[in-house]
Copies of this chain bind each other. A is one copy, B any other.
Amino acid sequence: MQEYSEPIIRLIDELRRLPGIGQKSAQRIAFHLMRRDAEETRKLVQAITDVKERIVSCSVCNNLTDVDPCRYCASPARDHSLICVVEEPANLVAIERTREYKGLYHILHGALSPIRGVGPEDLKIKSLLERLRTAEVKEIILATNPNTEGEATATYLARLLKPLGLRVSRIGMGLPVGSDLDFADEVTMHRALANRREL
């Protein structure tokens, strides 16, 4: 006899596709959702549907946003001569949390990875070059993750950007090597920003 009803099996299956969710977590979340009142679950469904419908990619920096251009790109209070390049939108948040950085961002949506078949054309590099052509940018801070792929991406971008006469810097290696930018605490992140070195 099938252990679960078909709708339950399907929900557990779908939940297991989420990052960091295994069979046991999926099962636990599924039963939690079934126990919870309908209104609370409706809110979750609505929240998921909303991000899919309302969140777009910023046409300038590729940040995920509900207004285009995003709040950062549209803000006159930010320093438009400074662009910080990160791999993912979540990385931007790690930097914002320091409350130190007042420039703009550029989200690559990934990092170079020959092993996983991610080349320069898979990243938002072309739109970065486009920005440099039209805007008055003086410095690019490369804040890709301090791991192999992030380093490779930073090196690649440095070679590409230096000839354009810009200041190109890399965030300081105050961050533990091999880690993930998302998990950096504010102080480490702050030091990394302050210790950025020109490439």
Give the B-binding residues of A (Cβ under 8 A): 1-8, 10-11, 13-15, 17-21, 24-25, 27-35, 38, 40-41, 43-45, 47-52, 54-55, 64-67, 70-72, 75, 88-90, 92-93, 96-97, 109, 182-183
The interface residues of chain B lying within 8 Å CB-to-CB of A54 are 5, 7
> How many protomers of this protein does the assembly include?
2
The interface residues of chain B lying within 8 Å CB-to-CB of A96 are 1, 3
Question: Are A11's CB and B51's CB within 8 A?
Answer: yes
Question: Are B64's CB and A24's CB within 8 A?
Answer: no
Known contacts A3-B96, A29-B20: A10-B88 contact under CB 8 Å: no
Task: State the 3 A-B residue pairs at the shortest beta-carbon distance, nearest first.
Answer: A5-B66, A11-B47, A14-B47
Q: Which residue of B lies closest to A4 (CB)?
A: B93
